[in-house]
Structure 1
Amino acid sequence: MTPLIYLSRQTANHWLVGQNSEKFAEWVTRFLAELNSLTASGNLPKLLLVEPDPIQFLARFLAACSVGCPTFLGNPGWGKAEWEQVLTLVQPHLIWGDTSIVPGWDSTKAEQNTLNTAAAEPQPNQGWIMIPTGGSSGKIRFAIHAWETLMAAVQGFQQHFQVDQVNSFCVLPLYHVSGLMQFLRSFTSGGKLVILPFKAVESGETSEIAPSEFFISLVPTQLQRLLSHSLLTDWLSQFRTVLLGGAPAWNELLQAARSQQIRLALTYGMTETAAQIAALKPEEFLANHHHCGKVLPHTQVTICDRLNHPLAANQIGKVIIQSRSLALGYYPKTDFDKVLQPDDMGFLDEQGGLHIIGRDSDKIITGGENVFPVEVEAAIRATGYVTDVAVVGVSDRHWGQVITAVYIPKHP
C-alpha cells in the first residue's frame, strides 16, 4: 500500500498519542501541495529533509515518499563540518524544513534553480530514501533505502514478535533508522505512536498509555539512566518489550535489568538493514539467555571463514547478511548486490541464536591469538570495580600487540 492509503486509514484511529491526528493529515496534504508545485514539470528535486519538529518531520517525510522525491534525512544537530560534508556529497536541490539550521545555505537561490538543476544533473532514482549513518572515521554516509525495503523490515518485525498492530513509544531521533522504523511499524500496522524526547521521560513525563501494549527502543546508556530511578524502573518494567540496541550492553547492566524484570529484547541490526535483523525475545532474556536472538524471517545470516566458506554452528567467523530490507548501497553507489558483509564477527549457536563477538577491525592479535576488546571490557566491568573501561592493543616487539585497558575506577 502507498503512504497515503496508510494515512487515510490511520487518521480516524487517533494514532498519534498526545497529538492531533487530523492536524497531522492536514500537514501532509499541505506539504504534498508544496512538492507537487515543484514537480509540475515532471522533474523530481533531491530533497534534504531537515526538520527538528518531529510531527512536521514525519508529515514532510510522508509527503516526499508519496511524490517519490529522492529524500535525504538530515540531522538538525550536525555541526558546520558535518554540513559541509553532507552538502558536498548530496548537492541537494532543496533543503526542506528549517533551512536556518544549515550554515551557508542560500534557500532563495536554491529554490529558484530547483527545477532547472533537477533536469541538468544526474538524479537518484525516484522513491529512494537516504538514511544517514556515521562511520567510525567520522565520515557521514547515506544508506539507500526505498519504501519496499523499509516495509520488508516492518513485516519481519511483526512476524518475529507475532504482533499485528505495533504500538511504539519513541524516544529516539526520527532521522535515525532507530526512530524512523518505530514510526513506520506503527503507522503501517494500524498501531499507535508516542513521541517524546528522552529528557522528558527522564524528568518523569511518560504519557498516559498502557505500557504493556507498547514497544520502546533504547540504547544501553538510556537504559542505565532509567534504571537509576525507581519510579522509571517500575514504569519500564510494564512495557511489552524493551528493544535494546545501538551499542554492546555490558553484563552488569543486563543483570540489573533482569533483576527488575525488564522485558528486554537484545537486538542486532544497522542502518543498512533498516534496523534489527535479529532479536532475542523477552522471555529468553529473562531466562538468562545473552545473545542477539534468532534472525528475523526476512533475513538470512551466514557465518563464513576468510575464504567465504560457511561455518558450522558455534564457529566464529565473518557475519554475512542477505535481507529483503537491505539497502542498495551507500549513496551514490548501488553496489551491495543484495549482500552485506559488515565488520562484525560472530557465530550461530545450535538453536539459531546469533552471537556477536566484536568487530574484526577492532580485534587485537597478541602472541598469535585473536582477542576482541568487547569481551575483555565485559570481563572488567563484571568485577564491579569500574564505571567505564576501554580496551586497546598497544604495539609490542615480543607479542605483536599487548592488551591495554584504560578505565575509570568506581572508587578512586
Structure 2
Amino acid sequence: MTGVLDAAYRLKVFRRIGLIAPQLPHRIAYAGYQLVKWGPGFPAAVAAAAARFPKQKAIVDDLGELTWAELRDEVNQLSHALKERGVEPGDSIALLARNHRYIVTAMVAIMQVGARVLLLNTMASGSQLTELATREGAKFIILDEEFLKVAEKVDRDQLLLAWSDGDQDVPTLAEISKGQSTKQPPKPSRRGSVVIFTSGTTGLPKGAKREEPEGLDPLVAFFGAIPYRGNRTMVLAAPLFHSWGLINFGFGLSTAPTYVLRRRFKPEQVLQDIEEHQAEALVVVPLMMQRLVDADPELVKKTDVSSLRITAVSGSALAGELATQYMDTFTDSVYNFYGATETGWVTVASPKDLREAPGTAGRPPWHTTVRILKDGKEVPQGETGTIYVANDMPFGGYTDGNTKEFAEDLMSTGDLGHFDEDGRLFVSGRDDDMIVSGGENVFPRELEDALIKHEDIADVVVTGIDDKDWGQALAAYVVVKNGASLEHDDIVAYAKEHVARFAVPRKTKFLDELPRNPTGKVMKRELPDFD
C-alpha cells in the first residue's frame, strides 16, 4: 500500500511542476535522452529545458534576457573554451561571483566538462581565497571584476572574469567563448560536482561536497513541501554561492522557470521584478525579508505583488514575528526551510504553520526522518535534544576527508530542538558556540585569533548577540594594553582587514580584565551585558 501511495504522490508533484505535461514528442524524447545520458544534474537539466522550451526566457538579469536555447548555447560554448584551456575531468575551478548569467553558465559548463565547481563566498578575504585555491588545487579562478583586488596575490594567468565592465587585462568568459561551437561536448569520463564552502570563521572554510542524488525522489520531497509550479518566474535573490540559493536554482531547473537574478539586493528592485514579471516565487534569506518589510510604505502600497505564491526563506533563524509581519505586508506565502549545507533539508514550515505557531521550523518533508536524540536515545515529545536527520540528499563529506556526526543512519545537525504536540519542530540553537549571521555560519574563534594579534590588545573574547538586521552578530570584549587607546571603530577597521565581513564585530565593550577561571577559561556568564 505504501508503494501505491508513494507513486500517487510522485505523480501529483510531477504534474504540478510540469515534468508530466503535454509536449511535442521529439522534445520530450530529447529531454529524456539528456537525463539518461548525463544523469541528474545541471548539464542534463539545462539541455532538457532548452529542448522542451527553447524560446522561453531562462534568465533575466542586469544585462537583459536569455532564452533557454541561448543559455544552452552559451553553456556549450564555454564548455569547449574551458576544454581548450586544458580543463579536464576531475579538475577544480573556483567561482567567486554574484547572481547573474555568468555564474550560471560557469557552473553548468564546469560540470559539463566533468570538473569540480568550488563555490566561494563573495565576502571571502584575500587570504582565504588564496589559501582555498591552493588547498583545493584550483586550476582557474572565475570571478567578477569587483573581486580582482581580493585575488591580487593569485597568479594572473589563473584568472578569468565572469562579470566585467571592461578595461581589464584578464580574459572574460564571453571573450573566450566567442566563436566556439554551440554543440554539446561529449560526456566526460567522470561527472562534475559542486563543493560549497562553510563560512570559515574558525579558520579556513571547509568544503562540503554535494553528491548528485540518485533518481528524482529528492525533487518530490522538496517540491512536495514547497509548491512550485512549472514554467513560472522565480526571483532568486538569495546568493547562488549559498546552499539555499543553489538548491532552489538546481531543483528549479526541473520546472524550467524564468530566473530573475540581480547582482545586488535592493528591496525596490525586488518588488518591481515581482510586479513586472508576475513572479510566483521569491527566494531570500531572513535579512532580505526584513529589508522588504522595512521598505518604503508608499512603494509597497503602489506595487502589485499579488502574483507571489511562495516566499522561500532559509539561511538563519526566522523570527516568528518577521514571518507574520511579512505576510501581513505582502502575501501569505512564506515557506521557512530549515536545513544546512551538509544535511540538506530537515523541515519546512508552511504559511499555515507560521500563522498557527510562529517561530516553528515546520515539519519533515516526504521521505525525511527527523529525531531528537540525547545521549544516543530518542527523547519524548516536547523534550529538547540534538536534532538528527536522514533524507534523500546525500552528503559527500568534507574535502579534507572528515564528515558529520552520525547516529545509526541519522546525521547530526548540531542544533538543539524539540517537537510540539502537533509534530512541528522548534529549534533552540546550536549545541556549540556557532551563531548564524545574515545567513552565514559564524564562529567567534577566528575573530578572537585575529584581534589578539593587534599590537594594542592584551586580551579578548568574542560572543554572539542578537541583532535586529542580521539575526545574530559577533560582539567583542577587549582588554587593551597599558597606555594604549582604542575605540570600537578601530576594532572594526582592523577586523575588516583580517576576517570575512560577516565576522566583523557589531559591538565592542572594553574591560580592565576578562573573568577567567583558574584553568584560563573565560566565564562568559560573568561578562557584562551589551546595552
Q: What TM-score results when the alignment is normalised by the length of structure 1?
A: 0.76
Q: 1:167 to 1:143 in 2, by over 3 A?
A: farther
Distance in 1, matches of 2:465 and 2:320, equals: 10
Match of 1:323 among 391, 397, 403: 391
The answer to whether 1:361 aligns with 2:432 is yes
Compared CA separation, residues 407 and 33, structure 1 to 2 (3 A): same
2 CA distance for matches of 1:224 and 1:288?
19
Does structure 1 conserve the Cα–Cα contact (< 8 Å) formed by 2:207 and 2:399?
Answer: yes
C-alpha deviation, 1:74, in angstroms: 2.3
Deviation string 1:71-120 (CA, Å, 9 cap, x unpaired) is 21123442212213312321212224558452322243799xxxxxxxxx
Q: CA deviation at 1:186?
A: 2.5
In structure 2, the CA distance between the partners of 1:217 and 1:201, relative to structure 1 (3 Å rule), is same
- Return the offset for 1:144: 0.0
For residue 154 of structure 2, what is the aligned residue in structure 1? 105
C-alpha distance in 2 between matches for 1:207 and 1:353? 33
Distance 1:152 1:241 in 2: 21
Equivalent residue of 1:357, what SS? Answer: strand
Is the CA contact 2:515–2:527 (under 8 Å) kept in the aligned structure 1?
Answer: no
Q: Which of the pair has more CA radius of gyration?
A: 2
1:216 to 1:53, Cα distance in 2 relative to 1, 3 A:
closer
Q: Are residue 187 (structure 1) and residue 228 (structure 2) matched?
A: no
Answer yes or no: is 1:292 the counterpart of 2:361. yes
State the identity %.
17
What is the aligned counterpart of 1:302 among 371, 390, 413?
A: 371
Aligned residue in 2 for 1:239: 308
Q: Deviations over 1:23-47 (max 9, x none)?
A: 322211111112333568x654222
Residues 192 and 320 from structure 1, CA distance in 2 versus in 1: closer, same or farther, beyond 3 angstroms? same
**Partner of 2:115 in structure 1?**
69
CA spacing shift, 1:361–1:237, aligned 2, 3 Å: farther
Structure-2 residue corresponding to 1:248:
317
What residue ranges of structure 1 are gaps of 5+ in the alignment? Answer: 112-124, 364-375, 382-386
Equivalent AA in structure 2 for residue 402 of structure 1: R
Q: Counterparts of 2:86 and 2:49 in 1: how far apart (Å)? A: 23
1:267 alignment counterpart: 337
> Is the deviation greater in 281-290 or in 253-262?
253-262
CA deviation string 1:296-334 (max 9, x = no partner): 2243211101x2111222111011122221321111326
Aligned equivalent of 2:350 = 281
**Is the 1:303–1:319 contact (alpha carbons within 8 Å) kept by the matching residues of 2?**
yes
Q: Is the 8 A contact 2:143 2:159 kept in 1?
A: no
Specify whether residues 303 and 170 from structure 1 end up closer, same or farther in structure 2 by C-alpha distance, changes over 3 A only.
same
Instruction: Tell me the residue number matched to 1:36.
Output: 83
SS at match of 2:152: coil
User: Counterpart amino acid of 2:211?
Assistant: A
8 Å Cα contact 1:172-1:197 kept in structure 2: no
Matched, 1:218 2:284: yes
Determine if contact 1:390/1:407 at 8 Å carries over to the other structure.
no
CA shift for structure 1 position 359: 1.0
Instruction: Work out whether residues 171 and 196 of structure 1, in 8 Å CA contact, stay in contact via their aligned partners in 2.
Output: yes
**CA, structure 1 residues 16+402, in 2 after alignment: closer, same or farther (shift >3 Å)?**
same
CA contact (8 A) 1:168 1:216 kept: yes
SS at match of 2:207: strand
- 1:48 paired with 2:94, answer yes
Inter-partner Cα distance in structure 1 for 2:56 and 2:378: 47
Aligned residues: 372
1:83 counterpart residue number: 129
